[in-house]
Amino acid sequence: MKRAGVSYFGVRIPRHARRDLEDIAARGYTAVLHTFSENDLAYYRGTMAQIVAASHELGLEVQMCPWGVGRTFGGEAESRWVTFHPEACQVLDDGRRVATGCLNNPAYRAFCKEWADAALETGTDYVFWDEPHWTVPEHVGVADPNRWACVCQVCVELSGLDMSQGLTPEVQQFRERSVVDFLGEVTAHVASRGGKNTICLLPLTDGPHGVSDWDSVASLPDLSVLATDPYWKNFDESAGSFVGRFAHLLAETSARHDIDAQMWLPSFGLTRDDIPDLEAAIAATHAAGVENVWTWAYEACGHMTHLATADSPLVWEAVTRALTGEEDPASERQRVDLHDLDLRPTAELVQLINDEDRTVAAAVADAAEPIASAIDAIVDRLEAGGRLVYVGAGSSGRAAAADAAECGPTFSTDRIVAVTTEDEAAEDDAAAGARGLSALAVGEKDVALGVSASGRTPFTLAAIDAAREAGALTIGLTCVRGSELARRTTHSIQVEVGPEVIAGSTRMKAGTAQKLVLNMMSTIAMVRLGKTFGNLMVDVRASNDKLRARARRAVAIATAAPEEEVARAIAAAEGDTKVAIVALIAGVDAQTARSRLTAAGGVIREAVADVVG
C-alpha cells in the first residue's frame, strides 16, 4: 500500500501548527515527521506533545527526528550540548577539537538516549535517526575537506589503531563499526521503552561518510524501518538513475531483513525546472518497489529563506500530486476533523464558522505585498485611460460583478467592469470566457483580473488568455498556491484560506477572501486616482436623497463652510462634489474650479495646492 509522509518544522504555536496539519491530512498525506531539536528539548517539550497529539487526532502517523542534535544528525538546528560538553566532542586528525559530539563517547551516547526519552514522551510513533554521521569539516567551519574525525582518546583506545597514519581502510572500518554500534545502542534503548525506530542512512556506500554495509544496519534487532534520502542535486547526478539506484539498494536490503523501506526525496531548493526530475525520482522509487515515500518538507520549505525558492508553491503542489494523487484544490478537501459536523449543536457551529472566518483576514494580510504591487499596476493603466476588467464564474464571478457594480455609484466611474456568468455550467465553457472578454475589445491599456478560488476555472483561464494575447495586463486572484491561473498571469495574488468547513463551498472562506481583496483593490485604486479627499467619498454619484445628503456632508467637512455656502457651491457645481470643494477652498467660481481639477487630473489636493500649501 502506498504511503506518503512529509516533514514539518519551525512552527511551535499549536493552533497554527494544527491548521497546517489539517492541510497535510486533507491533502492525502498519511504521516508527518516533526523535528525535535535541542532548543525544542530545552523549551518546547510540552508544546511538542500537543503538536504530536494534534497529528494523531487528524489520523497522521508521527515520526520525530533529532534535528541537528550534537551535530551528528541532519538538520540546520544548532547544538547546545556541544557547547557545554567540549570534552565529549570529536577531534580532527590534525588535533583540533570541533563542535560535534563523539559517537563513541559514553556521555554523548547518554545524552542521545535522554533525547530519545523526551521524544517518546511526546507520543511519537517512531524515533527517526536522521543521517547519523561523523563530523563534516565544512559544517564546523573547517575549510579543508580532507580533514576527518575522530581521534579523541576514547576512539583511539577503542580502535587500538595508530590513527596518525591517516584515514586508512582499518580506520574507516572502525568508524563505520562505530556508527553501527552507536545506532544499535540507541535503537535498543528506544525499544526498551516501547518505541519503534527508523534509521535514515546517507545515500553513500563509500567515502568518509558512507556505510558500505547496509545489511549491518538493517540487521539491528530493534530497527523497524530503513530509510535513505538520495537528494540527487547534492551529488550532481540525474534524478532517475541516482534515486533508482538507491531505491533498489534500499528495497533489497529491507526485504532481506523483513523491515519496511522508506524513501525521502527533497522538495526544498527546487525550481519549476526541477519538477520533472522530482517526478522521475518518485517514479523510480515506486518502480523499485518502495511504496513508503516522504518529502522534506511542508510547502517545499517556502517559509525558510535558506531552503526556499520562488517556485516553492509550485513544487509543493507537484510533489503532493505525485505522492498522494491529490488533485483537488484546498477548498475541495474534506476536513477529517469535521466528519461529525451535522451532529454538532447550533451554537458550536456558529462559533466554528466564526473562528474559521477570523483566519481569512490573516490570510489576506499574508498576501499584502502582491496585492499592493497589483494595485499600483492597475492605477498606472487606469491613469492612462484603461479599464479594470474583472473575470470570473460561479461564486467568484458573482463577487467580482458585485464589486464592479458598486464602484460605479461610489466613485463615479465606468472603468471597472466585469465579464462573468451566472450559469454554473458555464464555468467549464472556455469559449464563453474568451468571447466575453473579446466583446469588450480589451487592449493594451486595460487590466484583466481573473478571480477563481481554485485557479483552474476554464471560463476564467480562457478569458485571461484572450486578455494576455490582446496585450492587457493580467492579474490572478486565487485561494490556493501554484495554480494554473497563477502561472498564466503577470501578477498573482494567492490567498490561502485552507479547506472550507463545508468541503467545496467556496462561497465561505474563499468567497470572503475574494470580497475582501477585491474591495481593497478597487477602493485603494480609486484613492490613488483622487476619488477621495482624505477619507471622504467625494466622487459619489448623488442619485438619491441619501447620496445627496452624503455629498453635502463631505463638502461641509472638507471646507468647514456654513451650510448656506455649501448649498450654493453644490448648486453652482451642478452637483459635482469635487468642484464644489475646490471652489470653496480656493475661493474661485465653479468654472475655474473645474478647470483646476482637470489640470490636476481630478485630484483635489493638487487642484488646491497653491492655496493650502
Question: What is the CATH number for 380?
Answer: 3.40.50.10490
pLDDT, averaged across the chain = 91
Tens of pLDDT, residues 45-67: 999 999 999 999 999 999 999 99
Does this model's pTM top 0.75? no
Give the residue from 493, 509, 528 where a domain finishes. Answer: 528
> Tell me, what's the pLDDT at 613?
58
Residue-level pLDDT at 371? 96
Given pLDDT bands bounded at 50, 70 and 90, which one contains residue 280?
A: very high
Do 428 and 312 have their domain in common?
A: no
Predicted confidence (pLDDT) per residue in 453-494, tens digit: 989 899 999 999 999 999 999 999 999 877 889 989 999 999
427 is catalytic: yes
**Average of pLDDT values for 161-172?**
93
Grid cell digits, residue 395: 461564486
pLDDT at 507 over 90: no
CATH number of the structural domain spanning residue 127:
3.20.20.80
Q: Are residues 316 and 277 in the same domain?
A: yes
Q: Is residue 156 a part of any domain in this protein?
A: no
CATH number for the domain that contains residue 590: 1.10.8.1080
Q: d(Cα 420, Cα 584) in Å, to the nearest integer? A: 42
Residues in CB range of 291: below 8 A, 6 or more apart: 1, 2, 3
Choose the catalytic residue: 170, 237, 406, 565.
406
Residues 466 and 397 both lie in one domain: yes
Same-domain check for residues 279 and 416: no
Convert the pLDDT of each residue in 447-460 to its tens digit: 999 999 989 899 99
- Is 336 a residue whose pLDDT tops 80? no
User: Residue 494's domain spans which residues?
Assistant: 351-528
Q: Give the closest residue to 79 by CA, choosing from 89, 94, 64.
A: 89
158 in a structural domain? no
Q: Is 524 inside any structural domain? A: yes
Q: Could you write out the DSSP letters of every residue in 90-143?
A: EEBTTS-EEEEE-TT-HHHHHHHHHHHHHHHHTT-SEEEEE---SPPGGGGT--
Residue 30 and residue 177 in one domain: yes
User: pLDDT tens digits, residue range 110-141?
Assistant: 999 999 999 999 999 999 999 999 998 888 88
Q: Is 258 a domain residue?
A: yes
Q: Report the DSSP beta bridge partners of residue 61.
A: 31
* pLDDT of 395: 87
Whether 496 sits among the annotated catalytic residues: the reply is no
- The residue from 528, 548, 570 where one domain ends is 528
Task: Answer whether residue 150 is part of any domain.
Answer: no
> Per-residue pLDDT for 424 more than 80?
no
Instruction: Identify whether residues 502 and 551 lie together within a single domain.
Output: no
pLDDT(175) > 80? yes
State mean pLDDT over 167-184: 96
Distance CA 418, CA 401 (A): 5
* Least confident segment among 296-310, 376-390, 498-512: 498-512
**pLDDT grade, residue 559 (50/70/90)?**
confident
pLDDT above 90 (res 189):
yes
271 and 358 inside one domain? no
Number of domains in the chain: 3
Q: What is the mean pLDDT of residues 142-170?
A: 93
The whole-number pLDDT of residue 225 equals: 98
Q: Is the pLDDT of residue 333 over 70?
A: no
Question: Residue 340 domain-assigned?
Answer: no
Out of 22, 131, 176, 427, pick the active-site residue: 427
CA 536/CA 262 separation, integer angstroms: 63
Residue 396 contacts residue 460 (beta carbons within 8 Å): yes
Same domain, 419 and 271: no
**Per-residue CA distances from 436 to 286, 347, 418, 602 (Å):** 46, 44, 9, 31
Q: Does 566 have pLDDT greater than 90?
A: no
Cell 590534525 identifies what position? Answer: 94
Query: Tell me, what's the pLDDT at 420?
Result: 86
One domain for residues 409 and 467: yes
